[in-house]
């Protein structure tokens, strides 16, 4: 069993500061474990006081010795683009068209945005949701186009709609029983 660890006054002050101000519960518990262990308590007493395992206490001490007490190893859902890059992409979507970047169309598509983000920032997302989030941040929303029959004659449709409007206002309805 390991004996009491020896911390300098500076290390103790730094650990106390971590224990009081760090936003992660894990890091605060690690600092507390090392401080309690420094007071001469056993591993089992320290673990019981923190409601943690003895392995947690041993790991906290080892991480302190390696200088990695504040590393968690957890990866959260951070955006691959930095906040500034996300803002510049949303501004690009709002103020420019794909024609400004050499594309033949003037409307944004998922594939065009994906290619531009990859080209300019070196970032590619796995799914479409991230690109949809960029469009949403720029104020765009996804709409499916209305289906149009390619066999329709637009001129005939206009004439029919015009005739329908005229006949509706001039025709009287007659009811008979």
| Residue 76 tokens, joined | 């959260």
pLDDT for the residue numbered 3: 47
pLDDT digits (tens, 9 = 90+) for 148-173: 788 888 898 888 887 777 665 565 65
Q: What is the pTM of this model?
A: 0.44
Q: How many other β-carbons are positioned within 10 Å of the β-carbon of residue 33?
A: 27
Judged on CB neighbours under 10 Å (0-12, 13-18, 19+), 123 is middle
pLDDT digits (tens, 9 = 90+) for 54-79: 999 999 999 888 888 887 766 545 55
């Amino acid at each position: 069993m390991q004996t009491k660890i020896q911390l300098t006054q500076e290390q103790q002050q730094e650990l106390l500061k971590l224990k009081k101000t760090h936003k992660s519960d894990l890091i605060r518990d690690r600092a507390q474990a090392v401080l309690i262990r420094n007071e001469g308590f056993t591993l089992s007493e320290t673990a019981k006081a923190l409601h943690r395992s003895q392995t947690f206490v041993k790991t906290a001490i080892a991480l302190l010795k390696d200088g990695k007490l504040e590393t968690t190893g957890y990866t959260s859902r951070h955006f691959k683009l930095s906040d500034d890059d996300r803002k510049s992409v949303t501004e690009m979507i709002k103020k420019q068209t794909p024609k400004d970047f050499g594309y033949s169309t003037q409307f944004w598509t998922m594939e065009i945005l994906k290619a531009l983000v990859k080209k300019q920032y070196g970032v590619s997302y796995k799914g479409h949701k991230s690109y949809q989030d960029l469009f949403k941040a720029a104020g765009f929303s996804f709409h499916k186009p209305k289906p149009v029959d390619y066999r329709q004659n637009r001129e005939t449709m206009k004439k029919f709609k015009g005739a329908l409007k005229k006949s509706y206002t001039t025709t009287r309805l007659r009811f008979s029983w």
